Structure 1
Amino acid sequence: MDYNRLAELLFPNVTETPEQVEARYPARDLPEGAKVTRMAPSPTGFMHLGNLFGAVVDERLAHQSGGVFYLRIEDTDKKREVEGGVQLILETFKTFGLPFDEGATIDGDNGAYGPYRQSQRAAIYHVFVKDLVKRGYAYPCFCTEEELAEMRAQQEANKENFGYYGKYAKYRDCPLEEIEKRLAEGQSYVVRFRSPGSIEHKVRHTDLVKGNLELTENDQDIVLLKSDGIPTYHFAHVVDDHLMHTTHVVRGEEWLATLPVHLQLFDVMGWKRPKYVHTAQLMKMDGGSKRKLSKRKDPELALTYYYQQGIPVPAVMEYLMTLLNSNFEEWRRANQTASINDFPFSPKKMSVSGSLFDMEKLRDVSKNVISRMTAEEVYDFVSAWSADNDPEFHDLFVRDPEMTRKFLAIGRGGKKPRKDLAFWSETKAYMDFMFPELFQPDYSGMPESTKDDAKAILTEYQDIYDPADDMSAWFDKVKTLADQHGFAPETKLYKKNPDAYKGPVGDISMVLRVAICGRTNAPDLYSVMQLMDQDEINRRLTAACDAL
């Protein structure tokens, strides 16, 4: 076979050499040990938790080592591409605080190693496929869909491996004359890789998560270029990762089955293999068994879900880190106020088996994350979220920013901060009683011990309440009121002799709390009342009296 002649037949317009292409992509000027990673999604209009899961690994490996984290758009499958898909990708990762150092932008590129869209790199792929043809590692295949289906049926009947290989590789050794004839007739073809492998051989590989692996060598003549001249993922990502000097490829473990193909391609091309980091799948409990998160069944797989539900971005990132590194929670307990970026992330601490996604655990993590935020930060987050997702509440929330911020500051900070909020969507229910328009009291929480005295307590309290009182004076009045109605003015007195009193002073506080807040569970009552207009307080005390 005259491979040079075949290469010219298939690629008459390709004049550039691999060496000339390589010269346009010089080695990166980075410190020793710096890692280069990439996020390479397809613009399908759907960004899922798995994308973010892998991207966190990419970003940490790159930025902890002084390296580069870049965005490449794998848009060779035009059938799956949606309008605005690239913009969604960029906005999503900006939202989750994963900054790309270079790569595709909405309308172009940022960086010296582009184009960063595979659809714009066809000429580059053709240079390297032509070179493979010249070296006898690629050839045209004219198989029709019917022929491929017939081949598969025969393999199934013979209980043989499926695929295009060995005796089933019909056009692997097709004579040059026949190829010329078919090309002259305008027959459609793909370009396949002529695999030098055999399933009798094993490939040894060390994955940074899975450890030492022994895999069956690839013997499949996979498609390199489709009939439209567009490359398959298998070939395109190998060329791109080489030219862009990617040092670490992070991807889901579902790609392990094709790893022998990719390693073989790197070897045949004469290129250094990158290190591979195959992350475990995200699982969830379904009854008594685990299953993979599903786009159809699980709304929490979509990244848009987290914003719609008001789940804070820092909480999502913190929770993902608990799934990614087994020692993160221990580190967090010892470094409660440190930035998540200070955590020494390591692929060696990643789970080899599936990572179990648990929404309740995410809630707990989120409560802790929010409890560490300042009132100002919470205000800004809720303001932005409510503007998009609950405009009516948003108008109330920002109507008096000073009052809202002071309310959010109640119980915040210190060694034991309040942990009322897990999601921004819960803010409305948490503080609705602060807005007369939303106040819907539930008086059923009045202590049973105060049944006969509640009306009198509420009426008398209107005469003694003074917003100028400090907390000590305020509580002294509550204790006096308790004593006058037969309740213990001190909790310790009640504990010492409970039969001598109708109840403890806390029961009087609860009467006031239920009347003013409309519920039994609310932040510190004194602090809440300091933020309320006195007329509104009196209206609520009177309304509670009337209701009782």
Structure 2
Amino acid sequence: MTKPVRVRFAPSPTGPLHIGGVRTALFNYLFAKKHKGTFVLRIEDTDQNRYVEGAEDYIVASLNWCGIPFDEGVGKNEKFGPYRQSERKHLYKQYADDLIEKGHAYYAFDTAETLDFHRKDHEAKGKTFIYNWHNRLKLSNSLSLSEAEVKAKLEAGEDYVIRFKSPQDETLHLQDIIRGHITIDTNILDDKVLFKSDGMPTYHLANIVDDHLMEISHVIRGEEWLPSLALHYQLYNAFGWEAPQFAHLPLILKPTGKGKLSKRDGDKLGFPVFPLEWTDPKTGDVSRGYKEDGYFAEAMVNFLAFLGWNPGTEQEIFSVDELVDAFELERVNKAGARFDPDKIKWFNHHYMQEQDNYNLALAFQNIKPELVEIDSQYIEMVIALIKERATFAGDFWDLSHYFFVAPSEFDEKAFKKAIKDDTVTLLTKVKELVESVEDFTVENLQNTVKGWITSNDIGFGKVMMPLRLALVGALQGPDVFDIIYMIGKTETLKRIDYLIATA
């Protein structure tokens, strides 16, 4: 690559950042780092009617939590600032005027009522109304009006828009890194609005001008922008600028594989679609976030990387650095990627096993404040024994409550399975054995009890199942002797006594 790689993530602050937006940011970040380039964050807030308070801060916080921070943007290395489009609006009018002077754009004074009439008239005739070379001379614009009429309308302050003049009878040859060669017949393109009379550009003009001025080398964005590619290429040509390379990422699909993933899908099926929890400033409604639901950022990033990209190997677990090394836009698929809620849980379970027990113990204490009084080293030891079965920190209490509180009742099915006619006799002997162990270690406990079972030719299940039931209240949990060691001799004997009394 001859020019420095500069990519941008350009969300609109209209609400929380959707998981699809996070995936777009991630792929931009990976591509930039792969090629020693720059990852730019630009806030596209030209539509002030849809602006939501707090959304911009949410976007930045989300990227930081995911571990994919921007290199350049609002308040950070402002080499090409400002990075909010609302603060750049003074720039765009001159570029719109430049297009008019070059004959690539024109003023249009049509009212909403006039355009609505033409749409309905076309529909009645079984046609589709397209504002372009077919009918632009029949409408009110600077191509159909005299120069004097146009000047009079502008001086009178009539509302207008500036439209791009799409060419007639041409074939555009476009290139996309992911989708390859694309051809477009310009006769089907409409004359898109570039500038509004309120002094604000549309997305089409603003993003082209900003990408050029910010020296963006590659535009990596969602598939939903593919229909705009023809206009954007034409705008670059009209300005006489070199176009960046484009790559349009596949859609993230619903878990069923049919249709684009939405917040409603998450609400219905019980999973978040936002990285962080979001509270709507107007309604107060709270939307779940992956962070608050107990997911690790590494798990979410690893999962998102596989939504549309494939490394070409069997490897599934990647650190961010490994993703940077392996990432290639050419290995991104064209087809939509199905969102699998169970797969991200699988990733989270993996990353759970890699977490430091000290930090997990702190998370556990945060969830169960009553554990703050308990020695943290004890909690760390408990975490070490049960985290293999955990997917979230929220699972810890269900998996470990018996390390802190003796069972007051027993699982009914487990009780029927474990308790036999000779259970009381066997557990009474186990009590004696446990009490006799002076050097109270897991190894000594195991050798003493298992040695007695083996030497007396007793089935292990006849002893170990009721013993586990006494300690846990159910037939689950880590090794029985680990539990005995952790809760101690006195507590163990007490729990065995309770089961004997119940049996």
Q: TM-score, normalised by structure 2?
A: 0.87
Deviation at 1:403, TM superposition (A): 1.3
**Corresponding position of 1:348:** 330
Verify the 8 A CA contact 2:308 2:335 in the aligned structure 1.
no
Among all aligned residue pairs of Structure 1 and Structure 2, give the percentage whose two residues are the same amino acid.
29
Q: Secondary structure at the match of 1:205?
A: strand
Asked if 1:320 is matched to 2:304, the reply is yes
Q: Secondary structure at the match of 2:153?
A: helix
Q: 1:234 to 1:441 in 2, by over 3 A?
A: farther
Q: Secondary structure at the match of 1:468?
A: coil
Q: Secondary structure at the match of 1:203?
A: strand
**Corresponding position of 1:37:** 7
**Corresponding position of 2:284:** none
Query: How many residues align structurally?
Result: 480
Pick from 280, 295, 320: which aligns with 1:311? 295
Deviation at 1:424, TM superposition (A): 2.8
Q: 1:188 to 1:372 in 2, by over 3 A?
A: same
Post-superposition CA distance 1:102-133 (Å, at most 9, x none):
1024xxx5421110000000111122112222
**Corresponding position of 1:204:** 173
Deviation at 1:294, TM superposition (A): 1.8
Mapping 1:136-535, distance limit 5 Å: 136-169=103-136, 170=139, 171-173=141-143, 174-195=145-166, 197-198=167-168, 200-217=169-186, 219-286=189-256, 290-299=258-267, 300-304=272-276, 305-327=289-311, 330-332=314-316, 340-341=322-323, 343-379=325-361, 382-383=363-364, 387=366, 390=367, 393-396=368-371, 399-410=374-385, 419-436=388-405, 441-442=410-411, 444-446=413-415, 448=417, 450-465=419-434, 466=437, 468-483=439-454, 487=458, 503=459, 505-535=460-490
**Corresponding position of 2:70:** 100
**Corresponding position of 1:112:** 79
Q: Secondary structure at the match of 2:253?
A: strand
Verify the 8 A CA contact 1:295 1:301 in the aligned structure 2.
yes
How far, CA to CA, are the matches of 1:161 and 1:172 in structure 2? 23
Tell me which moved more, 48-57 or 512-521.
512-521
How far, CA to CA, are the matches of 1:39 and 1:273 in structure 2? 17
Verify the 8 A CA contact 1:47 1:89 in the aligned structure 2.
yes
Q: 1:453 to 1:371 in 2, by over 3 A?
A: same
Mapping 1:31-70, distance limit 5 Å: 34-70=4-40
Pick from 484, 495, 501: which aligns with 1:540? 495
Q: Secondary structure at the match of 2:39?
A: strand
Q: Secondary structure at the match of 2:327?
A: coil
What amino acid does structure 2 have at the position aligned with 1:307? K
Tell me which moved more, 44-53 or 465-474.
465-474
How far, CA to CA, are the matches of 1:134 and 1:532 in structure 2? 84
Q: Secondary structure at the match of 1:303?
A: coil
Post-superposition CA distance 1:337-365 (Å, at most 9, x none):
89544541111111210101111222222
Deviation at 1:428, TM superposition (A): 2.5
Deviation at 1:515, TM superposition (A): 1.5
Deviation at 1:398, TM superposition (A): 7.6
**Gaps spanning 5+ residues in structure 2: where?**
277-288
How far, CA to CA, are the matches of 2:426 and 2:232 in structure 1? 78
Tell me which moved more, 156-165 or 94-103.
156-165
Post-superposition CA distance 1:200-220 (Å, at most 9, x none):
432222211112222233742
How far, CA to CA, are the matches of 2:32 and 2:319 in structure 1? 24
Post-superposition CA distance 1:76-114 (Å, at most 9, x none):
111211111111111111111111111024xxx542111
How far, CA to CA, are the matches of 2:407 and 2:291 in structure 1? 24
Deviation at 1:136, TM superposition (A): 2.3
Asked if 1:134 is matched to 2:101, the reply is yes
How far, CA to CA, are the matches of 1:283 and 1:337 in structure 2? 24
**Corresponding position of 2:283:** none
Deviation at 1:265, TM superposition (A): 0.6
How far, CA to CA, are the matches of 1:507 and 1:216 in structure 2? 79
Verify the 8 A CA contact 1:321 1:328 in the aligned structure 2.
no
Q: Secondary structure at the match of 1:273?
A: coil
How far, CA to CA, are the matches of 1:401 and 1:113 in structure 2? 49
Verify the 8 A CA contact 1:440 1:518 in the aligned structure 2.
yes
Q: TM-score, normalised by structure 1?
A: 0.81
Deviation at 1:61, TM superposition (A): 0.2
Post-superposition CA distance 1:239-294 (Å, at most 9, x none):
111111111111111211111011111111111111111111111343xx622212
How far, CA to CA, are the matches of 2:19 and 2:221 in structure 1? 13
Deviation at 1:138, TM superposition (A): 2.5
What amino acid does structure 1 have at the position aligned with 2:163? R
What amino acid does structure 2 have at the position aligned with 1:362? I
Deviation at 1:161, TM superposition (A): 3.9
**Corresponding position of 2:280:** none
Tell me which moved more, 75-84 or 215-224.
215-224
Give the alignment's Cα RMSD to 1 decimal.
2.7
Tell me which moved more, 399-408 or 459-468.
459-468
What amino acid does structure 2 have at the position aligned with 1:133? I
How far, CA to CA, are the matches of 1:212 and 1:467 in structure 2? 78
Verify the 8 A CA contact 2:471 2:496 in the aligned structure 1.
yes
Deviation at 1:443, TM superposition (A): 5.8
**Corresponding position of 1:499:** none
Q: 1:507 to 1:67 in 2, by over 3 A?
A: farther
Q: Secondary structure at the match of 1:410?
A: helix
What amino acid does structure 1 have at the position aligned with 2:502? A
Q: 1:468 to 1:125 in 2, by over 3 A?
A: farther
Q: Secondary structure at the match of 1:278?
A: strand
Verify the 8 A CA contact 1:398 1:404 in the aligned structure 2.
no
Q: 1:512 to 1:128 in 2, by over 3 A?
A: same
